[in-house]
Amino acid sequence: MQPATMDPAEEPPSMLWGLDPIFCAFARLYVRDILQMTESIQVPGIYFYNLHPIYKVDVLGTVVYKREREDFFCYGVDDGTGVINCLCWKNDLFKEEADPTKSGGKHSDGARGGFNPVAELALLRQAQQSRCRLEIGELLRVRGPVKTSRQQREIMASTFYKVNDPVMAVQIAWMMEVPQLYRQCYDKPLQLQPNATGDSALSSLSKATNIIKEFLKQKSVTRFRPYDVQDLLQPLISSQPQTASADLEPVAGPSACQQLRQLLKEALQILQDEGIVYCKVKSQDDVYQVTAHDTDLLIAVKDVIREDSQREKYAEKGCHILHILSAVRQRHSLNVSKATLELVLKSLECNSDIVSTSDDHYTAF
Amino acid sequence: MLPAAAVFHFPWEVNSGAVREGESVRVFGRLVCYQPEESRATLSAQHASKEHHVAVHTLFVEPFNPIIGAQYIVLGEIENAEGVGAMVRARVLNCVDGVNVALLQKAINEQRSFFREREHTCDDAQAT
């Protein structure tokens, strides 16, 4: 919890910072914590609260110190836990304050009643000024990146404004909310590692399925056996030890073949679940049919729909997908899955061989 | 350059010796009396069926519009004045009449219990 005592070696690698949602948010930290956060050694300007990388914050507090310069205000903001300097730049609208305001006033007198852009601009400027110029004791809301200048933490305001809070409703709401934010986000350690490894395992599987899909499409394969595509996945296995943890490497040698088979099995299972391939006949030595290139299946489905659409029962509404499925299973192969059939129906519909009459009903003319 | 952070305290804590001299505090209370010639105001609050008073030195925040009976919040340093005991030398004195005092107390307690909880877990972490 004490950020000042964090070991520099524990600093999470900068590559993972973006994965922490707090990194992109304006963190509503207590000023005390903003002052105590450790600065990153890798990238100055990034700070760590509880190993969460933070560079911009959101603060609400009472102004207890002010200094005005030509270009900026410097406000000391006290939120009850600490006091921090906030550097608030005056914008251009603010700086042109002297003469235009007076002339704007005259214009509005002249054009009474109508919409006067000059007067409106003057009003806008006045409103802006009243929100930017704060006195000691007033409430200020500041958002912006944290900077360290002359060994002092400060907030470079990207947005700042005076908060009108006559009955402290805003302050009370803030005081109630911030502890909850700490409990739910800032004080919870970020767990990247399990997700990261999960992702890489997932990605090698999705890579494998993509490789097989690409191969089937390019070569217009109609049917294949698992060992026909096994070699395609070889690069994924040999490259894996580099990305996975190093201590797996000695074990990887003998089990590479098993890994390959396992990966292939999983990839084929996914393709099967998606309906892209199916086994026409279940046997020891599986032969996979490629749905997209299986003209026999295409014809079988087309025939079923054309014939059954003639029957009185289906004439009006068309054949339901489950009816087509059972008919195709009888006629073609018991192992045709619904996903496979859906793919076939989609391609038939694209060729205008069949027409869908509702979500699950098809007919042919 | 910057003053110390003014930590929320309840009015009944100011005179109980819980806050030391020189400490920065922020305290709420109802303005019950104001003596401009002495620059002295008194805030009061009810707690546990007792009335607690906080003496405030208002020299730094004058002139201000004193509304007797209204809720105020004061930010300042604790000073020990003779005959009065602990007194807050105000840097900020804001009228916040209409504030939901019960909710404000709850928020202060919420914040305190959060910090207590955090220090506790921190101590545990260091002990192990």
Q: Does A64 touch chain B (CB under 8 A)?
A: yes
**Residue that is written with structure tokens 């099967």 in the block:** A272
Mean pLDDT over B57-75 rounds to: 93
Nearest-CA distance from A140 to chain B in Å?
Answer: 14
Do A31 and B5 make contact, defined as CB atoms within 8 angstroms? Answer: yes
- Say if CB B42 and CB B53 are below 8 A apart: yes
- Run of H or E residues at B119: helix B101-127
Cα torsion angle, B96, B100, B106, B110, sign: negative
- Say if CB A52 and CB A58 are below 8 A apart: no
Q: Does A183 touch chain B (CB under 8 A)?
A: yes
Q: Count chain A–chain B contacts defined by CB atoms under 8 A.
A: 88
Mean pLDDT over B18-46 rounds to: 92
Cβ-nearest to B98 among A81, A84, A167: A167
Please give the pLDDT value at position A90: 86
Please give the pLDDT value at position A28: 95
**Chain A residue with the nearest C-alpha to that of B25:** A80
Chain A interface, best mutation among B96, B113, B116, B122, by max A CB count within 10 A = B96
| Residue B70 reports pLDDT greater than 90 | yes
Instruction: Phi first, then psi: give them for residue A67, nearest 5 degrees.
Output: -145, 135
Do B110 and A83 make contact, defined as CB atoms within 8 angstroms? Answer: no
Q: Does A1 touch chain B (CB under 8 A)?
A: yes
Q: Does B107 touch chain A (CB under 8 A)?
A: yes
Chain A interface, best mutation among B9, B23, B105, B110, by max A CB count within 10 A = B110
- Say if CB B4 and CB B24 are below 8 A apart: yes
Closest CA to A292 of A328, A345, A329, A334: A345
- Calculate ∠ Cα A283-A289-A292, nearest 5°: 165
Q: With contacts defined as CB-CB under 8 Å, which chain A residues touch B1?
A: 65, 76
Say how many CA atoms lie within 13 Å of A222 toward its Cβ: 6
Residues in CB range of A318: below 8 A, 6 or more apart: A305, A309, A355, A356, A357, A358, A361, A362, A363
From residue A231, alpha-carbon distances to A37, A238, A258, B66 in Å are 52, 11, 13, 88
Cα torsion angle, B111, B112, B115, B120, sign: negative
Please give the pLDDT value at position A2: 44
Q: Does B120 touch chain A (CB under 8 A)?
A: no
For A264, other C-beta atoms within 10 Å of its C-beta total 20
Chain B interface, best mutation among A77, A175, A177, A184, by max B CB count within 10 A = A175
Distance CA B10, CA A24 (A): 37
What are the DSSP E strand ranges found in B1-128? 7-8, 24-35, 40-47, 50-57, 71-81, 85-95
Strands A139-149 and A56-68: antiparallel
**Residue that is written with structure tokens 């003319």 in the block:** A365
- Calculate ∠ Cα A83-B75-B3, nearest 5°: 35
Question: Hey, what domains does chain B have and what are their CATH numbers?
Answer: 7-99 (2.40.50.140)
Mean pLDDT by 10 residues, chain A (365 residues): 53 84 92 92 89 93 93 94 93 61 47 78 86 92 93 92 93 95 88 54 77 87 85 74 47 69 88 89 82 89 89 86 91 89 91 87 86
Say how many CA atoms lie within 13 Å of A243 toward its Cβ: 15
What are the DSSP E strand ranges found in chain A? 38-39, 47-49, 52-54, 56-68, 72-78, 83-89, 139-149, 152-156, 159-163, 223-224, 277-279, 288-290, 319-320, 355-356, 361-363
Nearest-CA distance from B27 to chain A in Å?
Answer: 11
Q: With contacts defined as CB-CB under 8 Å, which chain A residues touch B61?
A: 137
Reported residue count of chain A is 365
- Run of H or E residues at A313: helix A312-315
Nearest-CA distance from B48 to chain A in Å?
Answer: 22
Please give the pLDDT value at position A200: 56
Do B110 and A176 make contact, defined as CB atoms within 8 angstroms? Answer: yes
Strands B40-47 and B24-35: antiparallel
Please give the pLDDT value at position A95: 65
